[in-house]
Structure 1
């Protein structure tokens, strides 16, 4: 059949370019044909499927039930279908199209759809002709390796295929070839093959064995005509949290591990602080509105200072001043940048205002620093010092603090501070005490110069 598809494609593509009457595509897909060499055959197939596909009313309840169980009972879907039914039905699932996207992505194995034969949303990804299938088979080992963990950890329900379907057998073959007899035996309880039989009443479940390269693979075979029977059974098996939520936080943790940069939905305290025991570490999942104000008391000095520069906390200035100010101040010997929060707060915080007024430029820059400004030599600006001295962060930040107030351009200082945190987001935790002191001092100066007036 793939060879027949290739022959049809050759004839169709040739006719498409000379016969406008058979053209149905437009817009971006038409541009892809002209500019990127997309096959008109695949483009027209995608357009046809998108225009003609709809849920048959008789099956609407079944589709609704599928959507319902996807919330807590389905970890993921592997499909060879091109259409968009699954991503439109399974809300919140992440879609991966084609082998390349799947192989080269950091999949989380939950709340995901793997469209291994392409999608109508990307016509060029469609696997349909002989050369497509040959290229697919060449990469099947890599695909199997990517899916191995999923096959070993979850029950797998095969739906919409014949047991003899070459696509199904090829995927299973790639998986089985990597396993020993004991591991293959483990799969028997996890493989369920669903066979549709028209007008079947109820459901019939039997043991079933298929041969994969002379290796017997046992599974359960389910025969039915009403998929609602299966869906209702699956609905009794639920995770404690919606799978899309589990996937989101699994992805957040993965991204944090790779980048060391928390996101708006993942807040990380100083986990490498030697004073914190493993028993004290917790992960809290919930709405910011529920956890947020209680979590404000957990904001530390480093987060407070960094937020002055990066504005990376999700809390408002009112919340920070009302719930976190006193505690953070007590940890800092009475010194803290606060002007930014006062300026943007919607409430009056008289105590915080009186505190801020105590900290003038000459209070932030100690008398010792003021008396040793001759160390600057010929330096007279933030930018000048940073461009020539940033190879030594400790020296550069120390020299900048020796500048007179009139010599400090707040825009240049902001640029330097942002560059420092771009290089090491957790610098105020990771750096040695002199660097940490220098950077905090500069943030105090920055806060005063930008918002103090």
Structure 2
């Protein structure tokens, strides 16, 4: 059941009840709006009128407005989309009306003395969505971190259960498709997604999920390490995973990210005493190959903004370049270390 419209009002709101002549006059003024609303729903879903007589003049006025909007070519759609549930002996029939200047319209009438059985059947039905609706939802729904600012938007990570008690007046961002029962928190991601997120900051990975689920699992198959300080710096809990603790303990400076051959290459690269920069390496090595030498720079030679500009431009040019590229991944891990390590140290100390 999608939405319920009480045409003649509800006891929950006595002012909405249609009882007197003035009430009916007011209802007549809003019939065109209601017809337009029902027509919008009608184009995607069937509409069931429960407890209303087909002879009710208000109902007939609404049907006339809808029929006028549909046009004669589409009137046949009403038979399957408009269903009237009325009291009487169990039977299903087709009921027809003829409206001057519009034509004949037909709809389904279901008669029963037990509405409870109908309600039960409606309650068991599963809601389906047209491809157009799914596309609209996909454009509007984001899997966001559950640490969103409550003053800006209320973020529900993946549950519908609390929707009825959410406070009014706040923006709601509902994350769909991020839960996996096997994890209890969210679906597993690939390492490449974390690398991209460090560079573009657009994957909206929840720090809690990253630190407690993704990184511990992915580190088992990524012996070279993973970018993790972005998530550690925003994580409010205590890091308990042995692999992560080992990684934190071993990576104290940029040299710790290099293997023996790269450490030797770094010594040779600086042997002349010439200072390098991100821009000079790109100029000397070429845009596509510069990342192989950028890992040899000293910390004080690296302008993080320039390095980020380079990484983004490189990956945008070739979106698959991260996959299987251990040298580029090393550079991204070094950027992650330089960008977020200090913030992580501060947060860890404050705890």
TM-score normalised over the length of structure 2:
0.53
Mark the CA change 1:429 to 1:167 in structure 2 (over 3 Å): closer, same or farther.
farther
* Residue number in structure 2 paired with 1:356: 248
Displacement, 1:300?
Answer: 0.7
| Corresponding position of 1:209 | 96
SS of aligned partner of 2:249: helix
Q: State the distance in 2 between where 1:185 and 1:321 align.
A: 57
The 5 A counterparts of 1:124-203 are 137=32, 146-150=40-44, 153-154=45-46, 156-157=48-49, 159-160=51-52, 162-165=55-58, 167-174=61-68, 176-177=70-71, 179-180=73-74, 184-194=75-85
Equivalence for 1:234 = 119
Greater helix percent: which structure? 1
1:127-174 Cα offsets, whole Å, 9 max, x none, are 9769965xx85x899757633423xx4353354465432542244314
**Change in 2 beyond 3 A, CA 1:192/1:348:** closer
Q: How big is each residue's C-alpha offset from its partner over 1:290-333, in whole Å with a ceiling of 9 and x where there is no partner?
A: 2325965x321133346666553662623345434313x25xxx
Task: Give distance in 2, aligned partners of 1:442 and 1:448.
Answer: 10
Q: Which moved more, 1:368-377 or 1:438-447?
A: 368-377
Secondary structure (helix, strand or coil) at the match of 1:211 reads: strand
Tell me which residue corresponds to 1:346: 238
Q: Cα–Cα, structure 1 residues 300 and 287, in superposed 2: closer, same or farther, change >3 Å?
A: closer
CA gap of 1:235–1:208, structure 2 versus 1, over 3 A, is same
Partners of 2:27 and 2:290 lie apart in 1 by 63
Please name the residue that 1:448 is paired with: 341
Question: Whole-Å Cα distance in 2 between the matches of residues 178 and 375 of structure 1?
Answer: 73
Residue 234 to residue 265, structure 1, CA distance change in 2 (3 Å):
same
* 8 Å contact from structure 2 (residues 292, 328) kept in 1: no
| 1:315 counterpart residue number | 209
**Residue 271 (structure 1) aligns with:** none
2:3 to 76, 79, 84: 76
Q: In the aligned structure 2, how far is the partner of 1:238 from the partner of 1:131?
A: 32
For 1:141 and 1:157, how far apart are their aligned partners in 2?
A: 13
Question: Residues 394, 446 of structure 1: CA spacing in aligned structure 2 closer, same or farther, 3 A cutoff?
Answer: farther
Distance 1:375 1:84 in 2: 74
The answer (yes or no) to whether the contact 1:376–1:402 under 8 Å persists in 2 is: no
Unaligned segments of structure 1, at least 5 residues: 1-73, 87-118, 121-126, 267-284, 379-392
Deviation per CA, 1:370-418, whole angstroms, max 9, x where unpaired? Answer: 758534579xxxxxxxxxxxxxx999999997875357798x79xx79x
8 A Cα contact 2:79 2:107, kept in partner: yes
Aligned twin of 1:27 = none
Shift of 1:210: 0.8
Partner of 1:374: 276
Question: Displacement, 1:449?
Answer: 3.7
Deviations 1:271-293 (A, max 9, x none): xxxxxxxxxxxxxx999472325
Contact 2:277 2:302 in 1 (8 A): no
**How far apart are the structure 2 equivalents of 1:358 and 1:401?**
18
**1:421-444 deviations in Å (ceiling 9; x for gaps):** 9x9xx9799465599756554224
Q: In the TM superposition, what are the counterparts of 1:16-95 in structure 2 within 5 Å?
A: 74-78=1-5, 80=7, 85=12
| Aligned partner of residue 193 in structure 1, secondary structure | strand
CA distance in 1, matches of 2:290, 2:51: 64
Q: CA RMSD in A?
A: 5.7
Distance in 1 (alpha carbons) for counterparts of 2:328 and 2:25: 60
Specify whether residues 144 and 286 from structure 1 end up closer, same or farther in structure 2 by C-alpha distance, changes over 3 A only.
closer
Q: Contact conserved, 2:93 with 2:110, CA < 8 A, in 1? A: yes
* Other-structure match for 1:24: none
In structure 1, distance between residues paired with 2:345 and 2:68 = 66
Secondary structure of 2:181 counterpart: helix
- Provide the residue aligned with 1:336 in structure 2: 226
1:262 matches 2:143: yes
Assess, with a 3 A threshold, how the Cα gap between structure 1 residues 302 and 255 changes in structure 2: closer, same or farther: farther
Q: How far apart are the structure 2 equivalents of 1:364 and 1:203?
A: 77
The SS at the match of 1:299 is coil
> Secondary structure at 1:290's aligned position in 2?
coil
What is the DSSP-based 3-state SS (H/G/I as helix, E as strand, rest coil) of the residue aligned with 1:292? coil
